[in-house]
Structure 1
Amino acid sequence: MTEYEREPADAAVNGTPLGAAAGTGTGAPASWRVFHATGMAPAGAPPAVPPAPPWREFAGEPLQTAPAADDRAVHRRLGAGGPLHSLRDDDVDTVNAALLLRRPLLVTGPPGVGKSTLAYLVALELGLGRVLQWSIVSRTALRDGLYEYDSIGRAQAIAAWRAGADPASADPSPAGEPASEQPPYLGDFITLGPLGTALLAYERPRVLLIDELDKSDIDLPNDLLHVLENGSYDVPELVRSALPAVNVFTDDPGRRAEILGGHVECREFPLVVITSNGEREFPAAFRRRCLPLEMRPPSRKQLVAIVASHLRRRPEGVEALVDEFERRVLKGGTQSVDQLLNAVHLTTAGGFQADTDGRKLIEMLLRDLAKGR
């Protein structure tokens, strides 16, 4: 019996078998552990996601079309495929608990250890479609993640429409065409952000990556509490309009979604992966709503596997660079795995000479990031 077969097939939540709830997937999971960190896409129908607990059930409308996968983004993050080697068995259990409980994951660890890659690994293995990524900077506000309203663009469009609709206007419609009888459509000027798109009503959870939240303004974690707890938000510009339904743009390229009455509510709460480099502490109220997951630096064997996965081969002499990278980490240096990937790729390029000048390049690529140079 393996690690992920410990639960009986008829495991239940509130007396209901895990695969019995409608709208959670196409097959019934034999266990609450549906994620195994294999790094492989499902061969057939994607595995079912266990139903949410009663206190995390939502009833958003209307139901949206399932998102397509972004194979290019997944390939850049995961390489040729395979497990995320820095994940331990208890880390995998934590991810499964977040899926079951519909709670955000707060992923911490040193830079370059694979924190953000975790979101892509889960989306690939469970067939949850394109990962919605919200990259945080010091100026980021909650509304940036929810939606954007182009008020200036709409005002200009309305002015142009009124000018064209006015028979006395000196600037008639182009080419003498009759002016439109309808003003510019409100939905054409509203675009949902990554968080706003993730909270639309989908049959299966979306995956949302909130990357480097510790770089945010001090208020953003507290501002997120209400939205993450209630799985919903309002778009005031739509609430004030007289339109019962408005079709807006989403964070998915080329996709739109209908919003009823200016209110957005999820059907299945998304898997929210929040990453932090540990540059600051978060409020207790925020941490209480998240499941913590601390990722450790990969071992030497895991580093070799990561290099082989991303380069799609095991270059000759990679062990020497891996040993040097590991020595720097053990000495207390701040190193990122992508530094190792860059160094290996450079040294295996045609004609590269690892002598005087080449050695300087390697030293530059593997420098201690904590020293600021």
Structure 2
Amino acid sequence: MSAHEQTARDGWRVFEATGFPPGPGDPPPSLPAPPPWRRFDGSPVQPPPPDDETAALRRLGPGDTIPQLASDEIDVVNAALVLRRPLLVTGPPGIGKSSLAYLIARELGLGRVLEWSVVSRTVLRDGLYTHDAMGRAQAIAAWQAGLGGGTDPSATAGGGGVGGEGPRAEPDGARPPRREAPPALGDFLTLGPLGTALLPYERPRVLLIDELDKSDIDLPNDLLHVLENGSYEVPELVRAATASARVHTADPGGRAVVLHGRVECRAFPVVLITSNGEREFPAAFRRRCLPLEMRTPTREQLLAIVERHLTTRPEGTEALVDLFVQGVQGGETHALDQLLNAVQLTTAGGFQADGDGRKLVELLLRDLAKGR
């Protein structure tokens, strides 16, 4: 295929897995318009999210990103971006599934990644929002105590004074005591990663739902409605008939306005759902996601990954990579961070990678499938 034909064929892509962020002063890549059935119109529009380059460096390492995705895998990612559908990313543990979210966010200039780590006790509400009911009750009690101690209760209530007298007169020139507003309900509501990702941003947020296969059997089904409709309600705000409430978000120090207790996205978020294959998901859930199975990196890719993270290739790296590859080819389960830890340890001053040192290296590169 000629270069011209390749360019024409891949012209629909917005993500190339290069990991290069937009240049200084350059606008971020534009996403194509969503399909008619994936258009949303939430409001009010939120300001752009903050960046978190520290987290990206921790996940991706410094320097250029090593190409780890094949062309067909990059096509799947782009299809999810075009169709506004979640990606269901599978593959061995530690292969870099969650790092893909940071790669997309950096390359497309989408800001801080929202991460929701799932465990067996996780329920849908954990990802949407939390309500500090106890903290609110204590704040209201403190507010009421302040009213009782600082003002005449009858004046606060708007009624007459003691014995049917009118409101207590203030000395000439004195101002009436200041009556503070009761604690706002929104101050005790915090949107979770999923709830924050569904706020109405002009450009999509990146949401990582990590290890969904560890969840309770009901969580994938509970996610269906939210991921399909791009919206949810906060019952506490709906019951309070609050026209607008300013709530906390999952971003550090972030606040957002919620109208009439309902949140609806404007740009459907880029959702990456990772799974280690511990169980199957319902067909109704799988048909709403695009599957992406990540492959184990090649020997050359592993060497490049080590060099990128450590900014050098220490002596003995090739031998450790070969040991890692042999284990994987032999059916063992290994994670990339095991290899990085083993290489890092061998560069420690005075460490001898023979004798007892060899046993320690083998411990770091042990088969994770054996459960110890």
By how many angstroms is 1:160 displaced? 1.0
Does 1:6 find its partner at 2:8? yes
**Secondary structure in structure 1 of the residue aligned to 2:76:** helix
Does 1:93 find its partner at 2:75? yes
Given that 1:85 and 1:298 are in contact with CA atoms closer than 8 Å, whether structure 2 keeps it comes out as: no
By how many angstroms is 1:103 displaced? 0.1
Compute the TM-score of the two structures, normalised by the length of structure 2. Answer: 0.90
Residue 120 of structure 1: aligned partner: 102
Given that 1:98 and 1:104 are in contact with CA atoms closer than 8 Å, whether structure 2 keeps it comes out as: yes
- Bigger shift: 79-88 or 31-40? 79-88
Amino acid at match of 1:6: A
Amino acid at match of 1:296: R
Given that 2:66 and 2:304 are in contact with CA atoms closer than 8 Å, whether structure 1 keeps it comes out as: no
Given that 2:91 and 2:294 are in contact with CA atoms closer than 8 Å, whether structure 1 keeps it comes out as: yes
Whole-angstrom CA distance in 2 between matches of 1:368 and 1:264 = 45
Residue 175 of structure 1: aligned partner: none
Aligned residues: 344
Whole-angstrom CA distance in 1 between matches of 2:60 and 2:332 = 25
Residue 133 of structure 1: aligned partner: 115
Whole-angstrom CA distance in 1 between matches of 2:4 and 2:130 = 47
**Secondary structure in structure 2 of the residue aligned to 1:272:** strand
Given that 1:246 and 1:258 are in contact with CA atoms closer than 8 Å, whether structure 2 keeps it comes out as: yes
Q: How does 1:19-168 map to 2 (within 5 A)?
A: 31-43=11-23, 44-167=26-149
Residue 183 of structure 1: aligned partner: 182
Q: Which has the larger radius of gyration?
A: 2
5+ residue gaps, structure 2: 152-176
- Bigger shift: 81-90 or 338-347? 81-90
Compute the TM-score of the two structures, normalised by the length of structure 1. Answer: 0.89
Whole-angstrom CA distance in 2 between matches of 1:315 and 1:271 = 37
Q: How does 1:211-360 map to 2 (within 5 A)?
A: 211-360=210-359
By how many angstroms is 1:2 displaced? 6.5
Whole-angstrom CA distance in 1 between matches of 2:58 and 2:150 = 57
Residue 14 of structure 1: aligned partner: none
Whole-angstrom CA distance in 1 between matches of 2:346 and 2:179 = 62
Amino acid at match of 1:335: H
Given that 2:346 and 2:353 are in contact with CA atoms closer than 8 Å, whether structure 1 keeps it comes out as: yes
Whole-angstrom CA distance in 1 between matches of 2:19 and 2:150 = 65
Whole-angstrom CA distance in 2 between matches of 1:113 and 1:3 = 32
Whole-angstrom CA distance in 2 between matches of 1:154 and 1:189 = 6
Compared with structure 1, are the counterparts of its residues 248 and 168 closer, same or farther at alpha carbon in structure 2 (3 Å cutoff)? closer
Q: What is the root-mean-square deviation of aligned Cα atoms in Å? A: 1.7
**Secondary structure in structure 2 of the residue aligned to 1:55:** helix
Given that 1:212 and 1:276 are in contact with CA atoms closer than 8 Å, whether structure 2 keeps it comes out as: yes
Identity score, percent: 69
* Cα-to-partner distance string for 1:250-299 (whole Å, 9 max, x where unaligned): 00001100000001000000000000000000000000000000001111
Compared with structure 1, are the counterparts of its residues 308 and 3 closer, same or farther at alpha carbon in structure 2 (3 Å cutoff)? farther
Whole-angstrom CA distance in 2 between matches of 1:93 and 1:7 = 11
Amino acid at match of 2:95: V
**Secondary structure in structure 1 of the residue aligned to 2:88:** strand
Amino acid at match of 2:54: R
Q: Which has the higher contact order (CA 8 A, sep 6+)?
A: 2
Whole-angstrom CA distance in 2 between matches of 1:206 and 1:86 = 23
